[in-house]
Structure 1
Amino acid sequence: MLSDSSRGSTSTLVTSRLRLLALSVAVSAALGATVVMAQTDDYAEVNRLMRAGQLSEALSKVDQYLASKPRDPQMRFLKGVIQTEGGKHSDAIATFSKLTEEFPELPEPYNNLAVLYAGQSQFDKARAALEMAIRTNPSYATAHENLGDVYAKLASQSYSKALQLDAGNTAVAPKLSLIRTLFSADAKGGARTGTAPAPAAAAPVATAPVAVAKPAVPAPTPAPAASGNAEAAVEAAVSSWAKAWSSKNMQGYLGAYAGNFTPPGGQARGAWEADRKARILPRSRIGVDISDLSVTVDGDRASASFKQDYSSDTLNVTSRKKLDFVKSGSRWLIVRESTGS
């Protein structure tokens, strides 16, 4: 049976595993109000002060900004991050809670709220917050990982209670020991705190002013795999996928995914395709820009990691994304898509 000190140690290890989004920003135009984008320099200056450890100066900058734009969710999110980094956890909980009330479509505040709850051993609240984050964006990989860790902690609590009630139950102790070993091994590598921005277009997130609308382009021709230059072929496949998305060419966009592509969150392929059409086709404009592209190839499999700047008539998103490919004939097709990689 775990002692009180052992249970406290396990709680700390579980909390250290949870990934806090440290530099994520959020803006939504879905509330029916006019969203006035602030100058990028304001956000950049706050982030610079945070990275330099000048939290008091960063908070002053945020408060000064919010005095004239009190509803800006992007700067309010950063305020919650600063409060978290400064150890003002109650204030941070209040900040993120208010964001979830006013902008329930944004998954990032739920995630950071869950990390704070877990730090206070309020694992039921952490679980509920993470489930809301995933409901808002089923492809939110960070929230899925955090939820798994919270479930593990809840399991350890239940196993401990079972041993208290039945000390002779020999099946429980090994399970409890396994959980402790899992988190102890992970803690040796240090806490993993994410700095990835928000997930893809499913989450309304912005880091830059709205881009100029791009005219529709003809359906892109699938890029063939260049002989002796697989990396270039994968880069071309990423570009083709982005162009199809930008032009709302659903045949080209959905055709970029392999037949065995598994949608995130366990969603059925048909439901996923219907959801993507519902998100893409109603937009009057879409822009998907790729930068910082890095490709690795291993035989008939490859992966591409990059920064994705998404913009539409309702939202902006900047995020890190990873696409895993498999070679099918002369084409490279997507078999897995993840955000925050």
Structure 2
Amino acid sequence: MMHAGTTIPHLARKVALAAALCLPFAALADDYAEVSKLMRAGKPAEAIAKADQYLAAKPKDPQMRFIKGVAQAESGRTADALTTFTRITEEFPELPEPYNNLAVLYAGQGQFDKARATLEAAIRTNPSYSTAHENLGDVYAKLASQAYSKALQLDSTNTGLQPKLALIRELFTPGKGRPLAAAPAPTPVSAPAPAVVAKAPVAAPAPAAAPSTAPSPAPASPPAASSAGSHDVEAAVQAWAAAWSSKDMNGYLGAYGKEFDPPGKLSRKAWEEERRSRIVGKNRITVKLNDVTVSVKGTTAVARFKQTYSADSLNVSSRKTLELVKAGDRWVIVRESTGA
């Protein structure tokens, strides 16, 4: 848990893959690796200088800017780090990690309302981002502590407040609990090896049975229906990606069923307006799906795949899961998660 006076250099560094900031091209890994190596060696000033050298040629690169923000925070340049992460969120609102690190910085300054709002923005961007959920719980606990303390000042006779306040204070005792976790500078990765798809072995044909006068048993139902169902689900998912790529909002939003639960506390209308603003506002969008696997069970299905998203100067690769249900003769999305 976070306690008073917590600063970024003392925050726990949870090992979490920053999937939304993973490298789109292996050729760039050396540049990121060099800056990250300087940070691991405890040389944030040199890391910042190296990042600035890179950004002079590619000022819009979100990943290097993110790494620079982490270095600024670790070197005590909190105001500079706040500026860096804020600008990334403004230019790349689909990335949750900058929001998370902004919240850590706000919390370190005691600005818990700002930290709460920023973490909620991170979760709206990626509802499956567990670090932001955990940090948000810690911020709520700190806000509760402040509220209980104020209530006790106003009414010292309220015996029900003391146990609650004692519990919260126990959570924030130095040396106990967990401080807010900042998203680490992403580790450069090389291009993944092509996936090898194993073919199912072909069973040897059974020997011909001797003629029999007994009635033949009814043949087992072939798995054609299941295969057809999987094909239909994959076709629906590919159509969703194609509509997203072409900024066809009717096709994109129509891919979501009535039961779809928007992330965070957004209403369906607010979520659709937010998605429309983000998608239509891009000059160019490309969404490609690879390694698609589909499982169908009756009228429900799950599709898992690797999604490569490219929009203007942003390139993002992540694992994604869509849960679908059959509505009439269509498969529609009712839940989506990233990193699963």
Same fold (TM over 0.5): yes
Change (3 A) 1:308 1:98: same
Displacement of 1:265: 3.7
Displacement of 1:272: 3.6
Does the 8 Å CA contact 2:255/2:332 hold for their aligned counterparts? yes
Deviations 1:109-153 (A, max 9, x none): 34312113324544244235446x46xx94343497344542232
Cα distance in 2 between the residues matched to 1:83 and 1:47: 17
Does the 8 Å CA contact 2:301/2:325 hold for their aligned counterparts? yes
Matched, 1:76 2:65: yes
Cα distance in 1 between the residues matched to 2:62 and 2:274: 26
Cα distance in 2 between the residues matched to 1:276 and 1:20: 26
Alignment gaps of 5+ in structure 1: 1-5, 27-37, 198-207, 209-224
1:97 aligned residue: 83
2:199 aligned residue: none
1:123 aligned residue: 112
Matched, 1:151 2:140: yes
Does the 8 Å CA contact 1:25/1:74 hold for their aligned counterparts? yes
How many aligned positions are there? 288
Does the 8 Å CA contact 1:21/1:111 hold for their aligned counterparts? no
Displacement of 1:54: 4.7
Which amino acid in structure 1 is aligned with residue 242 of structure 2? K
Change (3 A) 1:237 1:55: farther
Deviations 1:182-201 (A, max 9, x none): 899xx98998665799xxxx
Alignment gaps of 5+ in structure 2: 192-222
Cα distance in 2 between the residues matched to 1:282 and 1:64: 30
Deviations 1:300-336 (A, max 9, x none): 5444444422234x34341534323234355432112
Does the 8 Å CA contact 1:159/1:172 hold for their aligned counterparts? yes
Change (3 A) 1:94 1:49: closer
1:170 aligned residue: 159
Give 1:242-257 correspondences, 5 Å limit. Answer: 242-257=241-256
SS at match of 1:100: helix
Cα distance in 1 between the residues matched to 2:65 and 2:247: 32
Cα distance in 2 between the residues matched to 1:290 and 1:263: 22
Deviations 1:209-254 (A, max 9, x none): xxxxxxxxxxxxxxxx972346665444322211222234444322
Change (3 A) 1:171 1:283: same
Which amino acid in structure 2 is aligned with residue 291 of structure 1? N
Change (3 A) 1:259 1:148: same
Give 1:11-160 correspondences, 5 Å limit. Answer: 25=21, 41-43=27-29, 45-47=31-33, 50=36, 53-54=40-41, 56=43, 59=48, 61-69=50-58, 72-84=61-73, 87-88=74-75, 90-100=76-86, 104-107=90-93, 108-127=97-116, 129-130=118-119, 133=121, 138-141=124-127, 142=129, 145=133, 146-160=135-149
Change (3 A) 1:276 1:294: same
SS at match of 1:104: helix
- Percent of counterpart pairs with the same letter? 50
TM-score by length of 2: 0.61
Cα distance in 2 between the residues matched to 1:122 and 1:147: 13
Cα distance in 1 between the residues matched to 2:260 and 2:239: 17
Cα distance in 2 between the residues matched to 1:179 and 1:226: 58
Matched, 1:228 2:226: yes
Displacement of 1:41: 3.1
SS at match of 1:262: coil
Which amino acid in structure 2 is aligned with residue 109 of structure 1? P
Cα distance in 1 between the residues matched to 2:3 and 2:65: 32
Change (3 A) 1:270 1:64: closer
Does the 8 Å CA contact 1:77/1:96 hold for their aligned counterparts? no
RMSD: 4.9
Give 1:304-323 correspondences, 5 Å limit. Answer: 304-312=303-311, 314-320=312-318, 321-323=320-322
